[in-house]
Chains A and B, each alone.
Chain A
Amino acid sequence: MTIQAVETQDKTIVAGLGEIKVSKDPSVVLTCLGLGSCVAVCAYDPVAKVGGMAHVVLPSSEGRAVKPSAKYADMAIPMLIAETQRHGALKTRLVVKLAGGAELSKAAGMDNAFKIGEKNQAAVKEVLSKENIKVAAEELGGNKGRTARMFVASGRVSVASAGSETKEL
């Protein structure tokens, strides 16, 4: 069975910086717009047809967070899993795809002492591996901004960059 997403009728739901969005509405497209160093963690249960997306901004909450926040990789991923489960997904069925984690410019102003794109990638992968979740596909690194979209009907994830063709993950 194939479900074709009719894009004109799709409802876009944007996960902003540090937000998690989960849906089982087949007309919804979960979206992270203009990812630079941030990482979009896309999780999909193909049986329950539940999709979730976390827009991770920073690697670790260590010593900083005063309340749970999805901006940190270490907090976002358990929150994303829990939220998809609440919508009927099973953790063992989750297909996880990643996009983002770029370093936009190597210029001095952006040398960002802490290489945040790389650190976000590493942190997200570490937390996923602790959760025993394999990464099914990824579009990470590089020096271009990206927009990630997940079509809840099919679990299809597409990644677009400025000035280049949209890729399927």
Chain B
Amino acid sequence: MVEQGIEMTEVEQLAWAGLVSKGIGNSISGLSQMVGQDIKATSLNPRVVAIKDIPDLIGGAEALTVGVYLKVTGDASGHMVLVYKPQAAYELLDMLLGLTPGTTHEINEMGESALGEMGNIMGSFFLNSLADSTGMVFMPSPPAVMMDMAGAILNVALAEIMMETDDACIVEAMFGTADRQVNGTFLVMPSLELLDALRERWRMQ
């Protein structure tokens, strides 16, 4: 395995954007069902970025962040991270656990399990859609829930991608409800292997 750059043609970028917008749509509808609230994507941004700049997308490497990490395995690998500012995670937990708004001030075992389940649902719904669209098989790992500096939360995923390349093709989706501050970010970072497999399929179509 030798390092490579990432270059995508316009057609490939469009195909990738279509694929992920369907996947993200599916995962946000999963989240809506779980929370029992109408959650919508507020932005969806598929693009190629320098890996060292990824922590800045979620508030900076040092910012205290709640992250739910899932590794993707199967026909090809990748990484998914669901990211919240701590306050947003607390509000979301109040919503999920049916508590009065303002009750949750930490991530306890119950909260960890609820957030993990949320990551599970968003991840599985995304991968199901990706599998449907491509005919490939993907599996999410069990979720790892962490509250720490954003850079540290992303570190292992970014290190794995950096073994192959210094740039990553990522999807950054932000979502929330209309009335409450539960905005989060869902980051999908496919491996080069996964991107290559997708390109191969697009070429054949």
Asked whether, in the complex, the Cβ of A109 is within 8 Å of the Cβ of B142, the reply is yes
Chain A residues 97 to 142 lying within 8 A of chain B, measured CB to CB, are 102, 104-105, 107-110, 112, 116
Q: Residues of B contacting A163 with CB < 8 Å?
A: 64
Asked whether, in the complex, the Cβ of A109 is within 8 Å of the Cβ of B69, the reply is yes
Q: Residues of B contacting A63 with CB < 8 Å?
A: 1-2
Most chain B CB within 10 A, of A16, A63, A146, is at A16
Q: Residues of A contacting B162 with CB < 8 Å?
A: 17-18, 57-58, 71
Cα–Cα, bound, A163→B131 (Å): 40
Cross-chain pairs A/B with CB under 8 angstroms, 28 sampled: A16-B52, A17-B52, A18-B162, A19-B52, A34-B55, A34-B62, A34-B150, A34-B152, A36-B153, A38-B151, A38-B159, A57-B158, A57-B159, A64-B3, A104-B148, A104-B152, A104-B153, A105-B69, A105-B146, A107-B145, A108-B141, A109-B143, A110-B71, A112-B156, A146-B149, A147-B62, A162-B147, A162-B148
| Nearest CB of A to B63, in Å | 8
Q: Residues of A contacting B151 with CB < 8 Å?
A: 33-36, 38, 145
B residues adjacent to A (C-beta < 8 A): 1-3, 51-53, 55, 60-64, 69-71, 141-156, 158-160, 162-164, 166
Most chain B CB within 10 A, of A102, A110, A144, A146, is at A110
Q: Residues of A contacting B1 with CB < 8 Å?
A: 63-64
Cα–Cα, bound, A109→B145 (Å): 9
Cα–Cα, bound, A71→B164 (Å): 12
Cα–Cα, bound, A164→B180 (Å): 31
Known: A19-B52, A38-B155. A162 touches B149 (CB 8 A): yes
Cα–Cα, bound, A33→B69 (Å): 20
Q: Residues of B contacting A64 with CB < 8 Å?
A: 1-3, 163-164
- Is A84 part of the contact surface with B, judged by Cβ < 8 Å? no
Q: How large is the interface on A (under 10, 10 to 19, 20 to 34, 35 or more residues)?
A: 20 to 34
Cα–Cα, bound, A116→B155 (Å): 10
| Nearest CB of A to B64, in Å | 5
Known: A33-B55, A109-B71. A66 touches B142 (CB 8 A): no
Asked whether, in the complex, the Cβ of B152 is within 8 Å of the Cβ of A146, the reply is yes
Asked whether, in the complex, the Cβ of B3 is within 8 Å of the Cβ of A58, the reply is no
Asked whether, in the complex, the Cβ of B156 is within 8 Å of the Cβ of A104, the reply is yes
Known: A33-B151, A34-B151, A162-B148. A65 touches B3 (CB 8 A): yes
Asked whether, in the complex, the Cβ of A37 is within 8 Å of the Cβ of B149, the reply is no
Q: Residues of A contacting B55 with CB < 8 Å?
A: 33-34
Asked whether, in the complex, the Cβ of B2 is within 8 Å of the Cβ of A36, the reply is no
| Nearest CB of A to B3, in Å | 5
What are the 3 A-B residue pairs with the smallest beta carbon separation, nearest first?
Answer: A34-B151, A145-B152, A36-B155
| Nearest CB of B to A149, in Å | 11
Cα–Cα, bound, A145→B152 (Å): 5
Q: Which residue of B lies closest to A102 (CB)?
A: B152
| Nearest CB of A to B124, in Å | 13
